[in-house]
Structures are given as structure tokens and as C-alpha cells.
Amino acid sequence: MGRTVILPPLPPPLRLFERMYTIRAFETRMEGESKAGRLPGTFHSSVGQEAVAVGACASLRETDLVVSTHRGHGHFLAKGGDVFRLMAELYGREEGYSAGKGGTQHMAGPKIGFMGSNGITGGGIPVAAGLALSLKRQNRENVVISFFGDGAANQGAFHEALNMAAIWKLPVIFICENNGWGMSTPVKDVTSGPSIAHRGEAYGILYQRMDGNDLEEVVEQVRAGIQMLHNEHAPVLLEAVTWRARGHSRSDQNLYRDKDEESRWAARDPLALYRKRLLDGNRATEKELAAVERKVDAEIDAAFQRCQTLKPARPETAATKVYASPEVPDAEDPSQRPLKEGEFEEKAYWEALQEAIREAMDKDERYFCFGEDICEYGGCFKVTRGMLEHYGRERLVNTPVSEEGIVGLCVGSAMGGLRPIGEIMFMDFIMLAFDQLLNHAAKFHYIYDGQIKVPMVIRTPMGGYRGYGATHSQCLDALLTHLPGIRVVTPWSPRDAKGLLATCLEEENPVVFVEHKALYIAKGPVPKQSEKIPLGKANIVRPGRDITLCANSYMVTLALQAAEQLAKEGIEAEVVDLRCLNPLDRKTVAESAARTQALVTVEESHLTGGWGAEIAASVQELAFGYLDAPILRVAAADVPIPSAPELERAILPSAEKIVATVKKALEARG
Ligand SMILES: Cc1ncc(C[n+]2csc(CCOP(=O)(O)OP(=O)(O)O)c2C)c(N)n1
Ligand SMILES: [Mg+2]
């Protein structure tokens, strides 16, 4: 059943003209600054496309949301962005919307519903769908506009997001600004099908092509689109046919375009067309229009003059706001308390995980689980088994096989106020979502200077030892730690699995929570009383005086087995479970190594670039004087993971390899 939503009244024509003129004047002035070398980085002018931005935003409320592109100044101004703060951002000043951290391609103003411009072509589309999911789940009548270019319509992200928005009927208007070009590539050379708009047909959603240089047509189509969206409860795809009047970016001289094209489109300049239409229709006088132009020119000039007085960004701000909730190194760790009889139950790792999820979901409606085959099937490793009956399909959502979409919608919905718990079926598949995870989730808080948070947890199983072969066995935990902005947690025991997941579910940062296939059915004591284990605290799971074994996840099991064997030979190994890779508890490992004077790292990620190298470097920095043996590493060999058990064993860590490596280290000690 549809509903009629009263749209906000349209701004008067002179106001629309003023907005278009503001964008034109802003872009013109700042492009000059950019070409003169006074702005850092690049510059993408939206001159020629003002009617799309202004026409689309004309029917939005402040609480409606916009997600933009690398060519986003116009969208920002049309959504109500402040000229001075936008300009200041382009100059790299702290007064800018992103305090100089974002620059021209990464600005946000959530207070005015502008949820970020984005330097990744197509990257904002799943984010917009996720924001729409949050609006829908919160029963808000708002809409999201997702702006993107013709080039972005060829990204997988576009297709995954459109499909997901269509199946869940999300309130998002996808607006493709087809400006004829993706850098130097003409649309027709790289785009199949009758039109980009027609791609909507494939997803069964409403679609329409429109003249993107005709402000009134854009206003009308977007207004109709929003109304349709509310009536049909379905997303809409609009293709605005327009033209990029300037070069792609600062350095582009447009040498690949012919003069005919230039003069044809120059005659269709959207600002001049609207100006003429207002005059011809007696809706504004020359005097009124000129007065608007003078007023805007003065405003741009005032902002410009003010920007010249601003000081450069202070270097000490460069490393601030990387994380929305900081690491708490001295937080109390309840898991250090030994459990007494009656205080715990023996539980499997998977059960402990499910308990943490259930406890969060029972307390707070914002949590929902989101992933492939997590409903009836319970997920590939059955962590969500049995939950569907209790929580229903609203709180447990089976998704298409669309990893980029899964993570992207988690990102957007987390930004919109939800608490998504995403599941990636095998960690290997997370690579399909790296863009959303590492370019978006991990960076948004920082690049928008703390204005946006992405509190999501992505759970995923890693690991070999099961013969699944190269695409279903990898440990990518170390790989994820190379980029700041994202927590990486790798629990070993069922107690930690529950206590760490409980903490992660309350984190304000994005988290990748890495489980291990070989641990799901392993049992251990889990306290009846819920506990939250702080992130970034390694755990000494076996004390010893002769050497430190630093491990995580399933490698802790192997390290303990190795320690047992070594003990028979009189070598007492201390086993330290890192538990988290970000934050990384270098201190506990260094202190342990300082006591034992020797260290072997044990990881299942590949040797080269693994976390063992990072720990080795840190320990020699922190405890060099105490060591009297070389730090050695046990890791997966630098080959893809083979399937046959004999081959897999040959390249993955084992207790025997750990024992041999320990002996080698101790022999060198002499
Ligand atoms: C994922 C990704 N690939 C490539 C680029 C480099 N790049 C920047 S803009 C652009 C063209 C985008 O074309 P379109 O989506 O039509 O937007 P327009 O520049 O025309 O506004 C490219 C290839 C990028 N920023 N991100
Ligand atoms: Mg384009």
C-alpha cells in the first residue's frame, strides 16, 4: 500500500536560480585557484551540471540524505552546504567541513543531510542504499539521493546496490549524472544497453531518463520520483543527461573532445537556459537576476577573502579522530578473573558467539544480522542456527551473494544509526568487499573529521586445516591490519569469543571479527554472567620462563600443544594469545619476551607481511636489550593454500614446526 507524502514546497524560481549561480560562481573561482596551484590536490568542476544538483535537492528536506561523488561541490551547495566552510576545506584549512583531512573529494555535513562525497567511483552507491535501509527500519519518511556518474554505472557496486535496494524496497533515488564522459572515455564506448536508465528495468524498479540541463525537468522528475518511491515503496533510477563543461579534473585540458560537441552543449548551458526561461516567462526581471548574481558574487568574494586569513592546518591534528572510540589500554579485563565452580558452563565457540549476538539483539532493536544463508541455514558454520524462529526475518536478513553490497549496506546503515552485524561466509570473500571495508568504513570517521561513525561488526571465519583449498582457507587477519581505522579481533577461546564480541558490538568503530573454522566446535568455560573483554589486551594463556610463543586464533591451540611437547624436554614456553590485531598489544608481548628473553611468533597468515613481522619489529624496539636469541617466525608459507591434506600440512603451521622453531631459537642462544 502506498502512502501520499506531502513533499516540502519548492523554493521560488529566484532561489533556485541563486543556488545554480552559487555553484557556478564557486566552481569558477575555485577552479582558478586550483589551476594557479593554490589548492592542494585535484579539482573536479561541476560546471554544466548545476541543474541536476539543484533540481534534485529542490524537493528535499534537511533530514533527507545525499551521498555524493568526487564531483560533489555542487551537490553539497545544493543540499545547503556553507560556501565558506566548503571553500576552507578546499584550501585544506581546519575551518573546512572535514578540517582539511578530506579535501575536495571527501566532505560531509551530516547536520544538513550530506553524508559524504566520495573519491571512489561508484563507492557511494551501496552506502546510500545502506542509509536508505536505516531510514526504512526506523520508519522515517525521508529519502536518500545517491548521485553518481555514468562511469560509476559500470561498477559492480552499482549493480549490487540496485538489486538490494530493489528487493528490500529501499527509499533511495539513484541519480546517474550522465555527463557524456568518464575522464577521457565517452559513455558510448563503455556502456552497453539502450541507456543507463534502462538498467533499472533489469531490477524491476522505476526508471526514467531526463534532460539534466533543464532545471525544471529535473525538479519535476525527482519530485515525481520521490512521490513514486513513497507510493510504490520502491527505489527509482533516474538518468540525467547532461554534459561536463570543463575538463575532468585540474590537469585535464579536454584535448579529446571535438569543437562541435563543445558548441552544441554550450548552447544548452543549464544556467543560461534557466535564466532565459525566467525572463521569457516574466518570472523574473533582468534587474532581479542581476541583483541575485551580485549578491552571490559578493558572498563568494567574502568567503574567499576570509579564507585568505586562515592559518594552515596544524600538523598535530593529522593523527586525530582516526577512531571513533579510542583504545583503552588500562581498561579492566574481566577475563583475567579465574572462574569458580558454578560460575560457568562449558560451551562451544559457536554457541558463545551466538550468545553475545543474542544478548545485544535482545537489549537493542538497532542490531540485526545480515549475510548470506544466515536464516534457515544458520550461516555456513551455524553461528546463527535457530535464531530465525526467535528473531524473524526483520532482524535476520538473508542477502544476495553480494559481498560488496553486504558490507556497503552495513556501512550505510551504521552511519544511519543502526547496528549491523554482517557475516561474510568465508574470510576469503571479504576481498570482494575491500573497497567498502577499507576505503569507506575504515576511513569515514577520519576523512570527515569525526562527523560520521560506522559502528558495524563484520564477522567472518578464516583458516585452513580442512582441505577447502586456496579460495576458502586463507587467514587475512594480518592483511587487514595494514590499514588504520578498522579493528581486527581474532578470538581463540569460547570465553574470549563471547566477551570480545560483546565489546565489539558496542564499539563505535568498524570491526572485522575473525573467527576460526577449526574452533567453532571447540568447547571451553564461558561465564554465566556476561562480561566485556576490552580490545587490545593480549592474554597469557600459559606462563613459562624459557621462551615466549605469541599466537592468535587457532594458532593458540597449536602453540599450547607445542608447549606441552617442549615441557617434556624441560623447556617451559609462555604462550601469549594476542586476541586482537588492532589494537595490537605490543607491550604485553614485549614484557613477556623480556622475561623469557626469547620469542617465536605463530601465525596462520602468510610469512611475508604477516603480523609476526610487526610483532618482531616492535619487540626488538621495546625489549632489544633483554633478548638473547633471534626472534623467529612460524607462519603459512608464501604459497596459496593447497587442498590435499599432505600439501596443506606441508605449508601451514603445526605443533611440530613450532617445537622445531623454538629449538632453533634456543640453540642460537647457546
Ligand atoms: C574506483 C575508481 N576507479 C577509478 C577512479 C579514477 N576516476 C576518477 S573519476 C573517473 C571517471 C568517473 O566517471 P563518471 O562516473 O562518469 O563521473 P564524472 O567524472 O564524469 O563525473 C575515474 C575513472 C576512481 N576515482 N575510483
Ligand atoms: Mg561521467
Q: Give residue 352's pLDDT.
A: 98
Q: How many CB atoms lie within 10 A of CB 616?
A: 21
pLDDT at residue 282 greater than cutoff 80: yes
70 lines ligand 1 (CB under 6 A): yes
Residues 584, 627, single domain; the answer is yes
For 483-504, the pLDDT digits (tens) are 999 999 999 999 999 999 999 9
Residue 133 pLDDT: 98
| Digit-coded pLDDT (tens) for 100-131 | 999 999 999 999 999 999 999 999 999 999 99
Does any ligand 1 atom lie closer than 6 A to the CB of residue 92?
no
Residue 420, all three cell numbers: 549491523
In this structure, which ligand is nearest to the CA of 120?
1
Task: List the residue whose alpha carbon is closest to atom 7 of ligand 1.
Answer: 121
Q: Check whether residue 156 and residue 291 sit in a common domain.
A: yes
pLDDT for residue 380 is more than 90: yes
Compute, in angstroms, the gap from residue 148 CA to the centroid of ligand 2: 8
From first CA to last CA, the distance across the chain in angstroms is 80
Ligand nearest to the CA of 70: 1
Q: Do 51 and 79 sit in the same domain of this protein?
A: yes
- Is 334 domain-assigned? no
- CATH number, domain containing residue 555: 3.40.50.920
384-409 pLDDT tens trace? 999 999 999 999 999 999 999 999 99
Please check whether residue 104 is in contact with residue 44, taking contact to mean a CB–CB distance below 8 angstroms: yes
Q: What angle do CA 187, 188, 190 make, to 5 degrees?
A: 70
Decide if pLDDT at 162 tops 80. Answer: yes
pLDDT of residue 523: 98
For atom 4 of ligand 1, the residue with the nearest CA is 121
User: What pLDDT, on the 0 to 100 scale, is given for residue 3?
Assistant: 64
What gap in Å lies between CA 97 and CA 86, rounded to an integer? 6
What is the residue-wise DSSP string for 206-250?
A: EEEEEETT-HHHHHHHHHHHHHHHHHHT--EEEEEE----S-SST
What's the CATH number where 401 sits?
3.40.50.970
In this prediction, residue 297 carries a pLDDT of 98
181: Cβ below 6 Å to ligand 1? yes
Q: Is 149 in the pocket of ligand 1 (CB under 6 A)?
A: yes
pLDDT of residue 669: 83
Q: Are residues 242 and 345 in the same domain?
A: no
Q: Which of 465, 493, 527 is the last residue of a domain?
A: 527
* Pair (492, 391) in one structural domain: yes
pLDDT in tens, 324-351: 998 888 899 999 999 999 999 999 999 9
Cα–Cα distance measured from residue 342 to residue 386, given in angstroms and rounded to the nearest whole number? 26
Q: Which residues are catalytic, by number?
A: 403, 472
Q: Residue 615 domain-assigned?
A: yes
What is d(CA 515, CA 477) in angstroms, rounded to the nearest whole number?
10
Same domain, residue pair 470 and 559: no
Helices (H), 382-539: 387-395, 403-415, 434, 442-447, 477-480, 494-504
| Residue 331 included in any domain | no
The answer to whether residue 258 sits within a structural domain is no
Report if residue 322 sits inside a domain. no
**Cβ contact 157:123 at 8 Å:** yes
The distance from CA 630 to its chain's CA centroid, rounded to whole angstroms, is 39
Tell me the pLDDT band of 253, cut-offs 50, 70 and 90: confident
Using most ligand atoms within 8 A of CB, pick from 52, 70, 239 the residue to mutate for ligand 1: 70
The range of the structural domain enclosing residue 363 comes to 341-527
621 phi and psi, to 5 degrees? Answer: -70, -40
Ligand 1 touching residue 455 (CB < 6 A): no
Q: Does the C-beta of 119 come closer than 6 Å to ligand 1? A: yes
CA 507 to chain centre: 15
pLDDT tops 70 at residue 73:
yes
- Ligand 1 atom closest to Cα of residue 179: 20
* Length in residues, the chain: 670
430 Cβ contact partners less than 8 Å away, ≥ 6 residues apart: 403, 407, 424, 437, 458, 460, 476, 512
Torsion of CA 193, 196, 197, 202, to 10 degrees: 50
In a domain, 239, yes or no: yes
- Does residue 72's CB lie within 6 angstroms of at least one atom of ligand 1? no
Ligand 1 atom with minimal separation from the 44 CA:
19
In the chain, % of residues over pLDDT 90 = 97
Report CA 251 to chain centroid distance, whole Å. 29
Same domain, 523 and 551: no
Q: How far is the CA of 189 from the centre of ligand 1 (A)?
A: 15
Cell of 310: 586562515
Q: What is the distance in A from the centroid of ligand 2 to the CA of 227? A: 27
Q: Give the model's confidence band at 670: pLDDT under 50 very low, under 70 low, under 90 confident, else very high.
A: low
Pairing of strands 236-241, 206-211: parallel
Residues 74 and 199 in one domain: yes
> Is the confidence at residue 6, as pLDDT, over 90?
no
Longest dimension (CA), the chain: 98
Average the pLDDT over 252-258 and give the result. Answer: 91
- What nine digits make up the cell of 594? 623480556
- Best CA proximity match to 122, nearest among 148, 84, 86, 87: 148
Looking at the structure, tell me whether residues 509 and 577 fall in a common domain: no
Find the Cα–Cα–Cα–Cα dihedral 359, 363, 364, 368, rounded to 10°.
30
Question: Per the domain annotation, does 20 fall within a domain?
Answer: yes
Q: Which atom of ligand 1 is nearest to the CA of 46?
A: 21
451 and 558: one domain?
no
What does the alpha-carbon distance between residue 116 and residue 70 come to, in Å, rounded to a whole number? 10
User: 551 and 518, same structural domain?
Assistant: no
C-alpha distances in Å from residue 626, one per residue of 304, 545, 548, 563, 593: 58, 13, 13, 22, 8
pLDDT in tens, 515-534: 999 999 999 999 999 999 99
Close Cβ partners of 224 (under 8 Å, ≥ 6 residues apart) = none
Cα-to-centroid distance, 147 and ligand 2 (Å) = 11
Number of domain units in the chain: 3
Q: Is the pLDDT of residue 585 over 70?
A: yes
pLDDT in tens, 287-319: 999 999 999 999 999 999 999 999 999 999 999
Q: Which residues contact 334 (CB under 8 A, 6 or more apart)?
A: 499, 531, 532, 533
Say yes or no: 509 and 572 in one domain.
no
Cis bond upstream, residue 583 (ω within 30): yes
On whether residue 10 sits in a domain, the answer given is no
CB of 178 sitting under 6 A from ligand 1: no
- Residue bearing the CA closest to ligand 1, atom 11: 182
